[in-house]
Chain A
Amino acid sequence: MSIANKANRLTPYVFMAPAAIILTVALLYPICYMIYASFLDWSPSQRIGEADFVGLRNYANLLQDAAFRESFWVTIKFAAVVVTLEMIIGVGLALLLDRNIKGMSTLRTIFILPMMIAPIVVGLMWRYMYHPTVGIFNRTLKSWGFEGIPWLSDSNWSFVAVVMADVWQWTPFIFILSLAAMQSLPRSALEAAEIDGATEMQKIFFIKLPLMLPVLIVTLMLRLIDAFKVLEVIMVLTNGGPGLSTEIVALRIFRTAQEFQELGEAAAMSNTLLMVLMALTIGMFMYNKMQENRAVRMKAAASKGAV
């Protein structure tokens, strides 16, 4: 009896073991390796055992490194601008298309196409479109009699250029999620509002958006985390230039490891980025938890009131 009982109690752990082992090997080990590496002065020509231990020097260097600070600032600017634009356009599109249109499913597939294209291809595609003489943007501008824009050779325009490419690629992600959220909203609330004579605008701002908020917050967080890690499109489009105007941290990490051959410092940068993303993720979970607690409290209050 007691043996069977014990076996019973062990069963879930046995089932979990393979996943736990894989997770440890595939996730924890590399992370620990990276954390350890960030304390080393390690060039790729050395084995990790031969590298010198330098304590926190890599992190101290990062703080003093103006180029790293600049790329950090570029990353934050990029993530903020990109995610704001994508949220506004994505949710706006979803609000516009939340109705019974014929061929909606085809339309939706077309809308999410950009998301499905490999980032390198997106980068190359936009790079040709931004080409100063043969690119479609400048050709169109010139045929209208305007001056061509130095899309990738001016530091302000090149930031605009990478933002445009990212918005084009990732707005559909927000669009599709908010459309799904919108279509699962309780119809009763909307009907009640209609009976009360609410206008379309009022319905959007006082009913639809507040009810969608939990989904929107999660979407925002997911995009924000992603925007911090974007690499390929920018690498292909501008490779960080001109100057450092589009050099986001992920690209800086890549170049530190690849060009400067400083694996330790690259690891320290990765850890810094990881910590920022961790803070964002924890923030997201906390918000979710808060929302759940509030819902539970409100439910309890409602049922109390009913009694």
Chain B
Amino acid sequence: MKFTLSWLRDHLETEATLDTITEALTDLGLEVESVTDPAAALAPFTLARVLEAHQHPEADRLRVCRVLTDEGERQIVCGAPNARAGIVAVLAKPGDYVPGIDVTLGTSKIRGVESQGMMCSEREMQMSDEHDGIIELPSGEVGERFVDWLAANDPARIDPVVEIAITPNRPDAMGVRGIARDLAARGIGRLKPAPDVVVPGSFTSATGVTIDDDAREGCPLFLLREIRGVKNGPSPRWMQDRLRAIGLRPKNFLVDVTNFFTHDRNRPLHVFDADKLRGNLRLHAARGGESVLALDGKTHVFGAGQIVIADDSGPVSIAGIMGGESTGSGDDTVNVLVEAAWFDPVTTAYTGRALKLSSDARYRFERGVDPAFTRPGLELATRMILDHAGGEPGEIVQAGAVPDTARAWRFDPQAVERIVGMAIPESDQIATLAALGFEVRDGMAQVPSWRPDVQGEADIVEEVARVASLGRLQGQPLPRPEGVTRPVLTPAQVRHGAARRQAAALGYNECVSYSFIDRAAAVLFGGEDEARMVANPISSEMTHMRPSLLPGLLRAAARNQARGFTDLALFEAGTVFSGGEPGAQEFEIAGLLVGRDAPRDVHGGERKVDPFDAKADAEAVLAAIGAPERVMLRRGAGTWWHPGRHGILGLGPKVAMGVFGEIHPRVLAALDVKGPAVAFTIWPDRVPLPRKQGAARPALVLSDLQPVERDFAFVVDRRTEADAITAAARGADKALIADVRVFDQFEGGSLGAGRKSVAITVRLEPKTATLTEAEIEAVAAKVVDKVTKATGAVLRG
């Protein structure tokens, strides 16, 4: 919402400075977004008189002028047709910044003739689009500041323009008068009394209005006044200045009047050319499919239930949003019908949204226009039209009635202190409410018709507090929990944090990617289904909710590789989606290793990353969140993993706590990542929380007896899993065997194709007595027996 200072002063009697006013507005909740003071840009320029103007010797269209300035005579080359002896012009000197051409002037030679300045057009001063000639003032002294001349002779041209942001609850502040009312309530001036205008009609209009039952809710009140014999045309200067200042283009007087009251009083109006309408106006709900060519030059098709304003020929206007092109007023309009109606905010909002059509009228009606001001607004407009364009007013035609919005809420003078924590004397509270238009009687506050937002006691409190200024609020300590601060995080939250910090401790850099991925990546990770599709994505790169963090990490890896980083360890911890409904999400932590495990270095220890790097890190993260040590490994995870080189870290056969492995080469190729690339994904919330126990650890039992380690090498089929061998060995004597570890493996060679040797070490920890050689041999024999039976292994001699 834009307005000018002088426009505000139409409604507010105040001596306050612009700064005071803008600070108060922001504090009141009418946040000032910008202040444009045209005088600032015009400050350097002074008036000068042209003494002589000669033809430029080298150019037909240029004149060489002798100009009298405050610093004596100067020579200026000027191309304006009106540059001639005797006129008073606006001078920009070398060193001055000319806003309209964005240039700081210097002394220059134009076609060989020196020019010591510039006489400016309005466009060059950024005052208007006028550029037919230089500014030619009817008065003024040489050397007088241009802004001073404007202040005295044409103040509208340096009228400061203020733009404020209007929150949706304040439709009343979408009229200048509403803004003035807020300022007056704050104590910045006095709200001027509003003229109470009634213009009696002298004839009965031929155009009638009816509202169909199905349109009563959307349009409870519709007023129409015919004025005959007006002389339309350009608006008076003051009106054009006002509208231009707030960014509107003046059209013709009748249209300008509607725009003026829209902004002056938040009272949208519409004017029909009476001679272009056929028969009577009828408001009805659209059946759907009707259309109208609106003033925006586009044809809009009504949806069922939207309110149509129609004449006998069909739709002529979209109720509350935009009038029709064919029945609008033009310069030649002689008989005009002025419409003032009240359209329901909800209906208007839905219609505007469905038609994707914005207008000043829609913006206001959907937020709530003062219903009680419908007729007074029409009377004011009539008066203004008659005053400037003449004509004869008809009687107002009314359909429907003013909707009753009268309501009152309890006024509790203690409430402000109780809710806001600010003490304000009751008399001040009542004065504030009165200034805002509330009537306080018998402990009740009657809400003014222009404040649809006030819907309860809390709103009354807000009004009082806001006008008193929240800037006065003093902090008061929030009662603190007694004693030492207790932990607040849930066990799951603690885990998420632990997983994240562990991944970083393992050397991974944490990334934060968008939750959106593109369709191609979604396909690769099995998430291209419609459930995960966003209905209104902002780009084709962001169409699906990510089913996994890996596509985001792989894309990040590709970007970093393109920047020359080949060895990467990236991780992300965040939400992944299994569908498109609330709850179809899970916390995931994923790590990605690409390239070598370390940069090439003098020690030569680096190597390509492999699935066991990912496995180690996955196990470390699982350990950090307290997952059970024993996991069941299986294959068969998603198609984005290398089919033979990945493992599901299972908790039993059903629950997958995570997956590690090598990324499928086709996925890498599709995402432009140069491999090798290995990764892990872990879902911490699938890991059951440990049963609650005290902080105490179980007792540590240490044996003084010498442990014994025995090594075994087994030859097995190359697809026999080491896990099967160690599990079998462990089963040989559960009491005595403390640990079984694989320490060597090799394939082929003397073993023959398809065979491998797996060497394990078995650690025996006796509990009661040192083991004898015979006992050791007995356990060893059992180990061999178990492993052989379980895997078909052969003990290597």
Real binding pair:
no
Residues of B within 8 A of A (CB): none
Binding site for B on A (CB under 8 A): none
